Amino acid sequence: MRKKEDVFSRNDFLWGSGTAAYQCEGAWDADGKGLGEWDYFNHNSALNIHNEDGDNASNFYYDYEKDINLMAEGSQNAYRFSISWARIMPTGYGEVNQQGIDFYNRVINYCLEKGIEPNVTLFHYDLPYELARQGGWLNHKITDYFNEYAKICFEAFGDRVKMWSTINEPRYYSYCTNIVGNYPPNRRLDFQSYFQYQYNLMIASSKAIRSFKEMGLDGYIGVVHDNGHVELDPDTINPDEVYEMADFFYNTLILEPSLLGKLPDNLEKMKQKYGFMILHDINEEEIFREGVGNYIGINLYNRQYVKHWEEGESEVFHNNKGTRSNSLEGIRLESLFESSFDPHVRRNKWGREVNPRVMYTGLMELKEKYNNPLILVTENGHGIYESPDENDYVEDNERIEIFSEFLDNLLKAKKEGADVRGYYHWSTMDLYSWINGYEKRYGLVRVDFEDNYKRTPKKSYYWFKDFINNYYSNNRNG
Ligand code: BG6
């Protein structure tokens, strides 16, 4: 039986990388796996704009040993991956699929054999289709199904897995599914569902964390939030009010339950401003109180740069077409606030800010506002178009430059007292980037999707390896 203390016994900082089940496993209907909402969407919807899917993805289901070997050879000692709910429970509740449990046992055991600390996420966007059919996260019953599923995973893997995340990015997931409309079930500008989703996801997470404690398991467990660090355009009118509304929109409905065990104090005020209500069971405050984790995961890519609303109806701006679109990423919320587009900040080809300084400001904000919680940077990376040379080698210098700036900012925040203890680069290898398909690449290792999923480490993989080795030789205690 492994113990919580084992996680940081060799090094007091983890360096690794991450993936998510639907994005890399493939084997979409193998060995008893149930249909997922993303399987259904990609096979049936005209909104699958690139006409791609995760049927085979990066073939991780069959090639996991290759990937874990490469992590270990690259000096990484931590791997964040997610479990496919429908692989464990084909319909999301009831029957358990032993072959799914066996697969994750193989992955976990192989990680440990190679000296890699597994960090397991229970839900990373891939809802079982049967639950989607029953209303998805708008159906409050799903919070109990999630709790049952979580308990099965804790029971099966909890003796060895000592780092857990309940839900990946409840806020951004709610945003894409209900505001942007690019993820199934593709609702657009539906603010009622946006807030209700976040609430239900957080209740589900808190129920699972409470169960983890009741089962007497030890380990780290928390939620993974997409960093929504808000910065105001200096020209903002009524800055305090704009800040409060934006921070609620991007952060507090996730961070307060996760870290403080309660809903935000300004919830009633915000319900009036945004015009939504929350449907819930009685006495759910208790679940939040009892379901506080012991770390927070932060996926850190960008900030939210906003100003007062100027004019126009609510609208969302998003770009899943890369260089085939000029759209920048942002939002306008009528009468509330809107994104400001800073011409001095770099952007990726998909219109999103690339702003490594935010690694520092985001981590420091968490330290100051939430009593210096234990933080893992559970994702950070840079999506680009790539072309390999004749040996399949990718010289991803642009990624390395940005990666290195992000890490400098992380080390600066650590030095100034943020309790950050791990970093997982997104992603371990190339994978399916949701609605962006396969052309937006994030991996440290190239995957040739046309040639048997051949793996070839990129220049950034070697750069990261050197970085980790230098880090440990300069910091003997980790
Ligand atoms: C994160 C998600 O938000 O961003 C990952 O947790 C995702 O699953 C990553 O792949 C990159 O996203 P995108 O939108 O750039 O493809």
Which DSSP symbol is given to 429?
A: B
- pLDDT at 354 (0 to 100): 96
Label residue 476 by pLDDT band (50, 70, 90). low
Closest CA to 86 of 34, 126, 154: 34
Average pLDDT score over the chain: 97
Label residue 287 by pLDDT band (50, 70, 90). very high
Of 37, 130, 169, 365, which residue is the catalytic one? Answer: 169
Residue 427: asked if its preceding bond is cis (omega within 30°), the reply is: yes
User: Exposed (0-12), middle (13-18) or buried (19+): which is 363, by Cβ within 10 Å?
Assistant: buried
For the beta carbon of residue 70, count every other beta carbon within 10 angstroms: 19
Closest CA to 307 of 266, 258, 340: 340
Please give the domain boundaries of the chain with CATH numbers for all domains: 4-303+345-477 (3.20.20.80)
Could you tell me the two tokens for 172?
A: 């951004």
237 phi, psi to nearest 5 deg: -85, 140
361 phi, psi to nearest 5 deg: -65, -40
Closest CA to 347 of 387, 410, 303: 303
Ligand 1 centroid from CA 121, angstroms: 14
Q: What is the C-alpha separation between 249 and 274, in angstroms, rounded? A: 9
Answer whether 383's CB lies under 8 Å from 436's CB.
Answer: yes
pLDDT in tens, 162-215: 999 999 999 999 999 999 999 999 999 999 999 999 999 999 999 999 999 999
Ligand 1 centroid from CA 388, angstroms: 22
Does the pLDDT at position 478 exceed 70? Answer: no
* Average confidence (pLDDT) over 310-333: 96
Q: Which residues contact 360 (CB under 8 A, 6 or more apart)?
A: 409, 410, 412, 413
Paired strand residues for 81: 120
Whether 434 is in the pocket of ligand 1, judged by its Cβ within 6 Å, is yes
pLDDT in tens, 1-58: 899 999 998 888 999 999 999 999 999 999 999 999 999 999 999 999 999 999 999 9
Could you tell me the two tokens for 124?
A: 């990373």
Which ligand 1 atom sits nearest the alpha carbon of residue 352? 15
Answer whether 90's CB lies under 8 Å from 464's CB.
Answer: no
Nearest CA to ligand 1 atom 12: 433
Region of residue 275 (left: phi > 0; alpha: psi -120 to 50; beta: else):
left
For the chain, percent of residues with pLDDT exceeding 70: 99
Which DSSP symbol is given to 81?
A: E
Residue 356: asked if its preceding bond is cis (omega within 30°), the reply is: no
Whether 379 is in the pocket of ligand 1, judged by its Cβ within 6 Å, is yes
Whether 430 is in the pocket of ligand 1, judged by its Cβ within 6 Å, is no
* Average confidence (pLDDT) over 239-262: 98
> Pairing mode, if any, of strands 304-308 and 230-232?
parallel
Closest CA to 340 of 191, 225, 237: 237
Could you tell me the two tokens for 478?
A: 């980790």
Q: What is the C-alpha separation between 14 and 376, in angstroms, rounded? A: 9
